[in-house]
Structure 1
Amino acid sequence: PGWVRLELRVHDTLAEAVTTDTPGTVAAGVDLEAVPVGVREDGAPWLLRILYSHILLAGATGSGKGSVLWSILAGLGPAIKAGLVDVRMADPKGGAEFGRGENRLFTRFAVDSGSILAMLTEARDEMDERLARMRAAGVRKLVPGVDEPLILIIIDEAASLSSYADRTEQEEFRKLTGLLLSKGRAAGVSVIAALQDPSKETMPNRQLFPVRIGLRLDEPTQTAMVHGQGARDRGAYCDRIPETTPGVGYVGEDGSTEFVRVRAFWIDDDHADAIADLYSPAPVITGPTEDYTGFDPDDLGDDDIPSDGYTGPVAA
């Protein structure tokens, strides 16, 4: 004899939008391998591994991709402010979605194909330099710090370069992202790519993303493109997600055949502004600074001032 446990839900636990804490009320510590970005169907927190991972995010227009990305930024916020995470944003839509983070949350912000490719080239070079130092020191995995933070590259609307740019730019984009995806994890370089029309043409490196998130999609075949063949048979019904539940999706990870149904936090414009305001890293001071170690605030030279307070020249 044995036991079989059945869990029956009589209502949709993810039907209502879920909000996150107001920036500033969350704990300062951030686990880069378990960043809270929403809730799971069973009521548990939805935690995403950012460090040592790459994430593919796919969803139709209005499916909630922006909320997922802003939820990730909110969860990483204290680490961004502390200089432990260096976020670099590619926003081919011209900054409409993430422009509020330019020169604030993001150390790099690129909106056209040329600047995006330059940003990726710079990241590839930094990755190779890190790997060379790690190899010389006998280090297998980089532990992020202020001197060498986690480099997080977010590419919104990745298809604009993987499929819709000219052929030369497409090839360069695929080459650069392929290198970052295949070599970056150990060096503390993570990539999040978001797109709305998953296909072989728009996501040629799908197999290099250990974490895949499928929000609402238009066709059953698109679910297979994100999560692999047989995904719908195993419960990933991305094409059945209603338009009234943006942020709902199915998460699949390498090493598991199961999918987790989740909903990202709802982040409106005011909340996104608050995230950018609070978590922007302190500016780096590059100019000369004075040494005030011997400064005595009680000794301001008052004893040298005449009783009448006049310190100018005395008339003959």
Structure 2
Amino acid sequence: MITLIQKNQQLFILGALILFVMIVLWALQYGIIRYGQTVLTQTLRYWAVLKQYLSRSKRLIRLRNNYPKIYHALSQRLHIQHFYGLPLTLLILVMGYILSLFFGLVEDVVTSDTIVAMDYFASHQMSMLSESPIVKFFILITSFASTATTCLIIFLTCVLCWVIRQRYIVIGLMVATLGSTVFTFLSKLLFHRDRPADILLFERTDSFPSGHATVTVALYGFLAYLVIRFSHSFTRQVRVLVITVFFSILVGLSRIVLNEHYLSDVLGGYLVGALWLTVAMSVTEWLGASHRIDWQTEWSVANIRLVWLSIVCVIIGTVLYAALYQFPLLL
């Protein structure tokens, strides 16, 4: 057994990593489903108590009396009843935090910090799997974030939004996909980073950040957000979130296994995708608050069947794309 592990060390580590991620996500899902609503209720209760305490603060009372406009603007940021209050404040804070993480990653990449050494180490280890059968699996996974597949998904989503008469959702979809795509394209031109030497599938674009990782978080994340928003089951919402996170990790891992990107490229792609996903969610929530999107719309049996038909079309299209275009690149 030990000899077998030593001969397939990289494959064993990769399998152990995927298993570890699955266990962590399962535990997280279990914890959220079992305790999430209780924690949320307690948090809202503590938040109400904190607001009452702050309303009696002498300093805040002085601020309200001396600067009523400033006090009103600040107090509006703490309301949880409408989108323009605490939800918008949190979304802006999240966007700022993601941007700071991205700029920090860029600084590490540019200054050849520790993460670059990790990039080369991971790339070297993955190059030893170039003859492994696992490569074909990851080619199929990475094909779900290809340009052809994402265009198909966008088209089918637009058709579905038109059928259910929720056309304004398309605006958020375009913000997530086009915004992240343009940002990634400009970033590649700016940083002009070469791809790993042992790349398995030929790519014409530069390396940083990973476009596949970006579109996975931006597009699939937005689709998961729509499912969560339309769903009335807390358990289903949590499971959709966990599955989307696991799928995003698999796609990012596929870019590293295939030596299409360095580790930092994938991390950068995740951050760019998360940034534009947050922007798209903010725009969509604003449209919902303006009564342009009805989250309580009833889904007919025909509409649900259309969703499943779209999923089947995406799977078949991805398999055909991988078989007819991606796999021949290995030969």
* Alignment TM-score, normalising by the size of structure 1: 0.27
Of Structure 1 and Structure 2, the greater helix share is in: 2
Of Structure 1 and Structure 2, the greater strand share is in: 1
Q: Which of the two has higher C-alpha Rg?
A: 1
* Alignment TM-score, normalising by the size of structure 2: 0.26
